[in-house]
Amino acid sequence: MGCESSPLSIQPRPFTIASRVTYNPWATNDQRYPAADQENRLHDLHEQLIERSAHYIGFPNSRIFDFKILADFLKFNINNIGDPWHPNSGINTCDFEREVLEFFAGIFHLDLNQGWGYITNGGTESNMYAIVRGRDAYPDAQLIFSEESHYSLTKIAHLLRMPHSVVPCHADGKLNLEAFASQIKDLNGKPCVINLSVGTTFHGAIESPAEVLNILDRQGCKEYYLHVDAALYGPMLPFIEGAPSFDFQLPIHSLSFSGHKFLGTPIPCGLVLCDRKQDPRFGSSAEYVGSVDTTLSGSRDGVSALILWTLITRLKGNGMAELAQQSLQLAEDAVLWLRDAGIECIHHPFGNIVVFPRPSVDLARKWQLATRGDLAHIVTLPGVTEAMLKTFITELIVDLKNE
């Protein structure tokens, strides 16, 4: 069958291989819808955020790198939906995510041939994922957490409709181990899912997995699932000599931390690691995205994986150790300076949270302090400079004297 030649003056061109693929659909729209109107507003916001960051001492978010190196990646539809070990068929950074997970699995002594994990949207999702696993293992389990746990635990207990009990803590935020032991005894052999905070949100107290495991052993409790919520200290304390162990060297089942706390990712995220291959009952095939649906969320941010990868490859263990050391040093300094000025404070070993009497509303607002009842706290993370801390403490001393 032959083709008749076209009667038009337009003639087909012979096929040649494109020498270079140029794909830039963004450029057309950038020209078509210029950003000029936004510049002033964004400039003002930028100034405001610099000013707020210079007085940001009350919440646990480090400021380490500016991540400009990643700016070019914001234009892509990066989505790590599904299991990072079964990269979906779209645009994703699952290779980078796995590198991050492998790095932290090494730090926390988890053999990924047996274990699993993923980058979550934050500490709350990580806790929820872990506790779902615990409940799947023991459907009748009682969820146990301390009164100093993050508020996400109450929410999770409610969402999962799990019977739960709250363990009281001492005035300085430490877990009341006697009360914990008596709750285990009251279970009468019923299984439990336990959440321990390393450390607690307000005081930064460490709820020691080793001590809790001892109690479980003494009480003959064999059916338990132990999750360690190391939201702040997770990527920090493994680098500090003498810090208590809270990882998979102990018979824990899962461990999580937030990416935006000690590591200061500008986009909130978290990481959860667990002791077994993914086996949640909700996991299904997610065929249309080409992955396996083993995570709590559907679409997952893949830029966070790049940010965490940038952090671990630039800082490495040494950098993290230095920053952790510096953070603990500043907390020790703050305690000394406050006590020298006659101000009582609470500070736990290996902690970078310092709790003191609540100052005036104006001072608390200026320094964005986390407050609770009569108390307030600061968190001396990277990004809180010595000069900043000294200025704050000088103002706090004057403020509390004037109260």
Residue 108 or 337: the one with the smaller Cβ distance to ligand PLP is 108
**What is the greatest pairwise CA distance in the chain?**
99
Task: Say whether residue 122 binds ligand PLP (CB under 6 A).
Answer: yes
Helices (H) and strands (E) in the chain, counts: 10, 10
By CB under 6 A, name the one of 231, 236, 328, 331 that touches ligand PLP: 231
Bridge partners, 79 (sequence order): 301
Q: Give the tokens for residue 54.
A: 């210079």
Task: Say whether residue 235 binds ligand PLP (CB under 6 A).
Answer: no
Instruction: Report the run of H or E that residue 276 belongs to, with start and end.
Output: none
By CB under 6 A, name the one of 61, 62, 93, 152 that touches ligand PLP: 152
Helix (H, G, I), strand (E, B) or coil at 117: strand
Residue closest to 343 by CA, chosen among 328, 329, 354: 354
Task: Say whether residue 208 binds ligand PLP (CB under 6 A).
Answer: no
Q: Nearest approach, Cβ of 31 to ligand PLP (angstroms)?
A: 39
Task: Say whether residue 258 binds ligand PLP (CB under 6 A).
Answer: yes
Distance CA 126, CA 119 (A): 8
Binding residues for ligand PLP restricted to 12-41, rule: CB under 6 A: none
Stretch that binds ligand PLP, among 122-130, 215-223, 274-282, 302-310 (CB under 6 A): 122-130
Q: Nearest approach, Cβ of 19 to ligand PLP (angstroms)?
A: 48
Residue 127 or 310: the one with the smaller Cβ distance to ligand PLP is 127
Residue closest to 78 by CA, chosen among 307, 315, 314: 307
**Are 196 and 229 contacting, i.e. CB atoms less than 8 angstroms apart?**
yes
Stretch that binds ligand PLP, among 100-108, 109-117, 118-126, 297-305 (CB under 6 A): 118-126
Task: Say whether residue 150 binds ligand PLP (CB under 6 A).
Answer: yes
Task: Say whether residue 174 binds ligand PLP (CB under 6 A).
Answer: no
Cβ neighbors of 210 (< 8 A, separation 6 or more) are 244, 245, 250
Instruction: Report the run of H or E that residue 252 belongs to, with start and end.
Output: none
Residue 264 or 270: the one with the smaller Cβ distance to ligand PLP is 270
Helix (H, G, I), strand (E, B) or coil at 93: coil
The phi, psi pair for 55, rounded to 5°, reads -125, 30
Stretch that binds ligand PLP, among 61-69, 158-166, 224-232, 283-291 (CB under 6 A): 224-232
Omega within 30 of 0 (cis) for the link into 204: no
Calculate ∠ Cα 273-204-324, nearest 5°: 70
Residue 225 or 233: the one with the smaller Cβ distance to ligand PLP is 233
Q: Nearest approach, Cβ of 367 to ligand PLP (angstroms)?
A: 18
Evaluated on CA atoms 328, 245, 271, 124, the torsion sign reads negative
Residue 197 or 352: the one with the smaller Cβ distance to ligand PLP is 197
Task: Say whether residue 123 binds ligand PLP (CB under 6 A).
Answer: yes
Stretch that binds ligand PLP, among 82-90, 121-129, 175-183, 246-254 (CB under 6 A): 121-129
Helix (H, G, I), strand (E, B) or coil at 104: helix
How far from chain centre, in Å, is Cα 153? 15
Q: Nearest approach, Cβ of 197 to ligand PLP (angstroms)?
A: 5
Residue 150 or 347: the one with the smaller Cβ distance to ligand PLP is 150
Q: Contact positions toward ligand PLP, by CB under 6 A?
A: 122-124, 127, 150, 152, 197, 201, 229, 231-232, 258, 268, 270
